[in-house]
Chain A
C-alpha cells in the first residue's frame, strides 16, 4: 500500500501577518516555515497506513531548494521517500493549475518507473493561498476518484472509507483505490518528529525533478491583510470577588447547565 502525500512550504504564522513592501509575499523575517496543519494530518495518516499495511510513504512538494526542509520534516515523522519538484530560485509562487500539472507529470513519471501510488493525500487547502484546487485537479487529470474535506479515513483491501462533515452529520464515501483524498485538520493528531527520526532525515537527499510550468488560471495582483478585530481583554475583578462574574459568563456561553 503506497501513499503519496503532497505538501507545501508555507510561513508558520500565528502572529500578525506582515507583507513585504511590494505586497507580493508574506514578510517571513520573524517567521519559520512549516507544512500546514491539514498536511501534517495527511502525513500522519499516510504514516499510519504504512505502519498498518506495510507500504511506503512518499512525500512530494513543489518549491525552491529550501523546501527540502518540509520534506525532511515529513521524513522525520515517518515518511520514506521524498520528491522535490524543484523550481528556479525566486519562482516558487505557482498557481494551482500549474502546480497540479507538475504533480501529475511527476506521478506519471513515477508510474512509468513502476512506482504507482494507491492513495494520494493532499491538504484540503493550502495554509497560505487557500485555493482548494490542487488535489481536485490532480484527481481529475489522472481520472481518479476524489473526496475532499476528509476528516476520517479507513483503508481496507483495495478500497477506502472516507468521512467528511456534512450539515449536522457525516457524509461517508466508499471509494475504490487508487484514489485522491484532500484531508482536514482533525483527521488525526499528528505526531511530533522524534530525535531518531530527525537524524534519519537529516542526511537524506530528495529525488529531484525539474517541473515544467504550465498555464495558470489565476493571476496574483497583490496581497492584502484583512482587518482583524482588535482583541480587548476585560478584567472581571480580582481575587474571590471575581468568581460570580466568571460564573455568569460561563453560563452565558452555555458552559454551565
Chain B
C-alpha cells in the first residue's frame, strides 16, 4: 500500500505543464492529447477530482445565448462536448422579465439567438407558469425561453477528459502538488518548480482560475483577473422538487431584473445572486486548502449582502421558498474570476514566450476554450475566432490591479444587466488623452473610450450644423436606438463631405519597425507587397495560418529600413504582440512603439487641400503627394508626416506630428480652417458613417479569423512572390468559390409595427424573404457586422456576409431587429463603395 503523498514522482521534463485541474485544465489536456501532444503533466495543488477551485462549487448550468458571437460560439461548442461526454442534462431555461425594459432586451436577445442559430422563444407569463408551476407569474411581463439550456456535471466531464489523455499515455497527473516557482530564461518559460520537484517544460499553461494571477507573477507575467464573490444559497427540502426524483426536471429561471437565478438541484432550490455589492479579493488572500472550512473558493457567506435578495426570491417563488419547512441548508460566497472587459484570458502571455493563459473561463465555455487553446497552441489559430479573449488585447495600464478592480467593480452588477452595445465605462477614465483634449472639451466633445483613449464621438458645438443640413440628418425616435448616439454625427459627416473636417486620430497604435531586417518582418506578416518605394503607404490584411484575418492595418515605408505600422487603438495591443512575435531572433529588426510620441490629425473634405496648402510652404498638390503617399512637410515650422489616405473617402491626409508639437499644429490648422468652414468630426463619422458609405471593413466587425480576404472582398489577384503568414491558405481561397461574400445592404423601410422607425445596431440576423436563417456552406449564419447611417447616400447601411445564392445586387432580404422583420436590399456585393464608387474624391 502506498500513501498518496508518495505516489507520484513528478517527471523531470514535459512538453507542456498544465497548472490547474478544473474544467479548463482538463479540457485543454484532452484536446492537446487529441491533437497528438504527449509528455504532458497536469498539476494541481488540490486533490482530484475536486481540487477546490471554482469548478467544484459551480452552479454548472449553461444558458446558450450571448450577444457576443465569440462567447456564443464557445458556449455552443462546450455544450456539444458536454453532450458527447454524456454529462449534460437538458432542463430548458427561462429568463424572466419584471420590467418593460427587460422585455425589450429579450426582443434584442431574440435577434442574437437567431444570428447564432439558437432556438429561443418569447413566452407569456401564463406559458412560464406552465413550465414552472411554482412561479408567481403575476409579477412577470414575459420570458425568454431557450429549450436547449441545461446543467452539466463539470467534475465528471473533467475526469473523463483527463482520463482520456492518461489512457492515451500522453499525460501524467500530479495532484496535491504546489507550484513554487515558474522559471524563465531569455524571456521564455523553461520549468515549473513544485514541492515535488522541478519539471523542465517547453510550454506551461496556467489554467488555475482565481489563482492564475499569482502563478503568472512567478514568471513575471500578468493574467489580469480578480477573484470575486458570487453568492448562492440552497433551500430545501422542497416537496415538488423532491418528487421529481432527479437532479433537475424544471427549467432554470433567471430573474433578470433582480440579477438572480433559481435552479433546481435535486430536492433543493439553489438561488444565486449577482445583485450584491462587488466583493473582490486578491489571489494572495485566498485561504489555503487547510485554512478553508469548505474549499478555498467557498468562503463564508456574508448574510447582509444577500438579505435583499431573499425577499425578491420569495416574491418570485412564494409557494416553495415561503415554506417554513424548507431551510437554507447551504450558503456560500463562491469565488469566480472577473476581467476588466468580461472576456476570458486566453493565449500566450505578452511577457513570457510559451507561457500560456487559459483563465477567467466559466463552466459554460470550458470545453470550448480547451479546444480553442489546443488548436491555437498546435496550429497557430483556432476554428472559433479568439480575438475578444486574446490575453494580449490589454495594454500595460489595463493589466494593472488599479484598472482590473475599477472595471470589475463596475461590471459585476451588469452580469445580468441590460448593456447597450455602445455603453461607456464610468470608472478609470481619462487614462489616455490626446494633446487636443482641452480643445475638444471646449468644443463640447462627447468622449467615448477605446483602449484607455478618450476619443470625441461627436461634438456638441456642432449642433449648429443640424439646422444647416435639416432633413438630411436623420433622427432616431426610439430611445434605445438613440442611446449613446447623436444626430450631430450625421451633421458632422455632411459638413466634412461639403467642406473640410479635422479628426483626432491620436489613439492610433504606432510601431516603427527598424533595422536591416525590417522589410523581412513586414513582408512576413503582410499580405500586400511591402517592398515599395520609400514614401508609400500600403493598406494590408494580416492573416493567420488558416488564411483568416489576424488584423488589417496600414504600413508606411518611411525609409529603406524603416516601416511605420498604423493600427487602431482597440487592436494595437494584439497587433503589437503579433509583430513582436515575428521579429528576427538575431536582432536585425526592432519594434519601437511610438504611439505616445506621435499624435495624429485627419484632415478630410473637398477643401482639405486648400486648408493644408494654406499652412505649409511645401507643395501638397496631387502631383506632389499622390494618393497612398506619405511625405514630410512643415506646418508652423514643425516637420510632420502627411499621409494621403482616407478611411472616410475624402481628399485629405493623416498628419503625424511629434506629440509635444501637436497642439501647436492643431491650432494652426483650426485657425486657418475658419474661412473654409472647417469643423471637427468625431469617431462617429470616422468609424461608422464615413466608413460605411465607403464600404470599408473594420477588424472585429467584418473581419475576424473566421473569414478570409477573398470573402471580405479584400483579396488581390496578384499574390506577392514572398512568403507570408497564411499564404498557402490565401492562395487556395483565391481559387475557390467563396462560401460567403461581404455585402453592403440598405434598409428599405424602418417602420415597426408600432409605427416608430427603428434602426439596427449590429449583430442582427439577415433572413430570407420567408424569414428563414441564412447559413453558408461552412455553417456560418449571416448577420449584420456593422450598421449605421449613410447621410450622403440617404440610406441606412448594413454590412453582412451572404452566401453566393443571396449575394446578388438587388436581392430582397429581411433583417430581424427587436423581434420584428424589416426589408433590406443587397446594394453592393463586394467592396465597391456606395458613395463615390470610383474614389474620385479621394484621388483627385
Contacts and interface: CB of A to CB of B under 8 A. Distances in A.
Nearest to B322: A196
Contacts of B479: none
B328 interface: yes
Interface string B1-31: 1111101000000000000000000000000
B291 A194 contact: no
A206 to B, nearest CB: 16
A66 to B, nearest CB: 10
Nearest to B288: A16
Interface stretch (A89-97, A118-126, A212-220, A231-239): A231-239
Interface in A189-203: 191-199, 202
Interface stretch (B153-161, B309-317, B727-735, B798-806): B309-317
Contact of A30 (B291, B302, B327): B291
B323 A15 contact: no
B292 interface: yes
A223 B303 CA distance: 29
Interface residues of B, number: 32
A30 B300 contact: yes
Contacts of B324: 194, 196-197
B301 interface: yes
A16 B328 CA distance: 25
B574 to A, nearest CB: 38
Contacts of A14: 293-294
A12 B293 contact: yes
B314 A196 contact: yes
A161 interface: no
A199 B314 contact: yes
B301 A195 contact: no
A30 B293 contact: yes
B7 A202 contact: no
A212 B7 CA distance: 59
A13 to B, nearest CB: 7
B327 A233 contact: no
Contacts of B292: 15, 30
B583 to A, nearest CB: 46
B203 to A, nearest CB: 29
Most buried by B among A18, A194, A232: A194
Contacts of B299: 30
B426 interface: no
Interface in B261-312: 287, 290-294, 299-303, 307, 310-311
A192 B327 contact: yes
Given A15-B291, A199-B314, A194 B328 contact: yes
Contact of B291 (A18, A32, A192): A18
Given A15-B290, A31-B300, A232 B3 contact: yes
Contacts of A192: 327-329
B300 A195 contact: no
B235 interface: yes
A193 B326 CA distance: 8
Contacts of A194: 235, 323-328
A69 interface: yes
Nearest to B303: A69
Nearest to B301: A32
Interface in A1-48: 12-16, 18, 29-32
Contact of B300 (A12, A18, A191, A232): A12
A13 B294 CA distance: 10
A233 to B, nearest CB: 5
B336 interface: no
Contacts of B314: 195-196, 199
Contacts of A195: 235, 310, 313-314, 321-322, 326, 328
Contacts of A193: 327-328
A202 B307 contact: yes
A18 B300 CA distance: 16
Contacts of A12: 293, 300
B328 A233 contact: no
A202 B310 CA distance: 10
Contacts of B303: 69
A229 B2 CA distance: 18
Contacts of B2: 234-235
Nearest to B294: A14
Nearest to B324: A194
Nearest to B290: A16
B287 A30 contact: yes
Contacts of A196: 314, 322, 324
A18 B293 CA distance: 12
B215 to A, nearest CB: 21
A232 B47 CA distance: 13
A16 B287 CA distance: 11
A51 to B, nearest CB: 11
Contact of A199 (B290, B293, B300, B311): B311
A236 B4 CA distance: 10
A235 B328 contact: no
A29 B291 CA distance: 10
Nearest to B329: A192
Nearest to B1: A234
A145 to B, nearest CB: 33
Nearest to A203: B307
A10 to B, nearest CB: 13
> What 5 pairs across the A-B complex have the smallest Cβ distances?
A192-B327, A32-B300, A30-B287, A14-B293, A16-B290
28 contacts: A13-B293, A15-B290, A15-B291, A30-B287, A30-B299, A31-B300, A32-B293, A32-B301, A69-B303, A191-B325, A191-B327, A193-B327, A193-B328, A194-B327, A195-B235, A195-B322, A195-B326, A196-B314, A196-B324, A198-B310, A198-B328, A199-B311, A233-B3, A234-B2, A235-B1, A235-B2, A235-B4, A235-B7
Interface of A: 12-16, 18, 29-32, 69, 191-199, 202, 232-236
